[in-house]
Amino acid sequence: MELQLQPILLDGVPPKRPIVIAGPCSAETEEQVMSTARQLASKGIKIFRAGIWKPRTKPGGFEGVGVAGLPWLQRVRQETGMYVTTEVATSKHVEEALKAGIDILWIGARTSANPFAMQDVADALKGVDIPVLVKNPVNPDLELWIGALERINNAGVKRIAAIHRGFSSYDKKIYRNLPQWHIPIELRRRIPNLPIICDPSHIGGKRELIAPLCQQAMDLGFNGLIIESHCNPDCAWSDASQQVTPDVLDYILSLLVIRKEKQSTENLSALRKQIDECDDNIIQELSKRMRISREIGTYKKEHDMTILQTDRYNEILDKRGSQGILCGMHPEFLKKVFEAIHEESVRQQMEIINK
C-alpha cells in the first residue's frame, strides 16, 4: 500500500534539515517544563516535546503527570511560540491532547508494536488533521512499523513522519536500543517521501552517545532529530542519564556537519561511472561462474554425487576470507558475499539435477 502523504510545514514553510524537536523525557512540574522550554526557545528550538503519559517497563516508576501537564504545554505554546508535542497511546489520550490544542502527536515504541493499540489511536484520529510521528516498534520488525504508519494514514492523517529510536535487545552493551540502521534505511527505500527523525536519546541511553548518533543520522540523510533536554538532567524523574541541558544540546547541534543530500559534482559522476563499470564486471563474472557451476551440476548428476560438498564449501569460505584481508576487506564481508554466491550456485545446480 502506498501512503498518501503531505509535507509537515513549520510556520507555513518546509523546515530546514534537521528539524529539531527537544524537551524533557517527562513533564514533571510546571517550573521544570517552563524553565526548560524558555531555555530551548532561546536557542532557536521550534518544537517542544514532553511526555505526560509515560509507558514504564515496570510498575512503580514515574508514570507521568497525566492531564495535569496539558495546561503547562499550552503555556509553553503561548509564552514561547514553540509548537508542542506529546506521546499518545490510547484513544483517550488522543481526545485529551486534541482538546488541549497540542500541535503534534507522537506514538511510542511500545504502542507501535501493538496493532490493537495502534488501531485504537488511529480510530480516534479519524478526520483529524494533525501531524503524527510514529516511533519504530520496540522489536526490529519493519513490516510492523509500516503497518502502524498505514493505520494512521488510513485514518486520513497525511502529515506523518517516522521516528527511529532503536530496537530492544537483551544485550545492552553500548546502546540502550540497537540502532540497526539498515531498518530505517530500508524504510526510506520503501517510502521515499516519508520524513525520518532520529531519536539519539533513546538509542544511546547516555549523553556521550547523542552527538555521534546525531551526526550518523545526518550523514544518512535523515530529516530531523528528537532529543531529550532537561533544565536539570541529573535530577530528571525519568531517563536522567540520557538527557542534556539546553546549553549542551545547542553545542551538540552547532557541531553537526550537515551534508547536502544531492550534490552531483563532475568528480562524483566520474567516480560513479567507474563504480557502474565495476558492478557490470562483477555481474559478468558472476554469470560466468554460474555457468561453470551448472556444468559442475551436470557432472555431479552424471556421477550420482550430492550437490553440497561441505569440504569444498569451507575451503572457499576460508580461502576467500583470508584473501579479503589482504585486499583490505573485512573477512566477514567476503564470507557473506561467498555465502550468497554459494547459495545461488546450489539453487542453480538443484535445477539441473531435478531436470
Of 130-149, binders to ligand PEP (CB under 6 A) are 135
CB of 217 to ligand PEP, least distance (A): 15
Backbone angles phi, psi at 132, to 5 degrees: -130, 130
Which residue, 93 or 135, is less far from ligand PEP as judged by CB? Answer: 135
CB of 353 to ligand PEP, least distance (A): 50
Structure-block grid coordinates of residue 349? 545446480
Whether residue 18 contacts residue 258, with contact meaning beta carbons closer than 8 Å, is answered with: yes
Return the one option of ligand PEP, Mn ion, none that residue 109 interacts with (CB less than 5 to 8 A, by type). ligand PEP
Q: What CA–CA distance (Å, rounded) separates 70 from 84?
A: 10
Return the one option of Mn ion, ligand PEP, none that residue 108 interacts with (CB less than 5 to 8 A, by type). ligand PEP
CB of 184 to ligand PEP, least distance (A): 13
Verify binding: residue 165, ligand PEP, rule CB under 6 A: yes
Which residue, 179 or 297, is less far from ligand PEP as judged by CB? Answer: 179
DSSP string of 50-112, one letter each residue: -BSS---SSTTS----GGGGHHHHHHHHHHH--EEEEE--SHHHHHHHHHTT-SEEEE-HHHH
CB atoms within 10 A of CB 97: 25
Nearest CA to 199 among 94, 65, 70, 109?
Answer: 109
Of 64, 108, 137, 297, the one binding ligand PEP by CB under 6 A: 108
Verify binding: residue 93, ligand PEP, rule CB under 6 A: no
Collapsing DSSP states into helix, strand and coil, what is residue 270?
helix
Return the one option of ligand PEP, Mn ion, none that residue 188 interacts with (CB less than 5 to 8 A, by type). none
Verify binding: residue 124, ligand PEP, rule CB under 6 A: no
> Which residues lie near Mn ion (CB under 5 A)?
25, 239
CA quadruple 10, 16, 19, 23: dihedral sign: negative
Residue whose Cβ sits closest to ligand PEP? 108
How many CA atoms lie within 13 Å of 57's alpha carbon, on the beta-carbon side?
A: 4
Of 21-60, binders to ligand PEP (CB under 6 A) are 25, 51, 55
CB of 226 to Mn ion, least distance (A): 10
Residue whose Cβ sits closest to Mn ion? 25
Verify binding: residue 188, ligand PEP, rule CB under 6 A: no
Whether residue 23 contacts residue 48, with contact meaning beta carbons closer than 8 Å, is answered with: yes
CB of 108 to ligand PEP, least distance (A): 3
Verify binding: residue 109, ligand PEP, rule CB under 6 A: yes
Q: Report the largest interatomic distance among the alpha carbons of the chain, rounded to a whole angstrom.
A: 84
Binding site for ligand PEP (CB under 6 A): 25, 51, 55, 108-109, 135, 165, 202
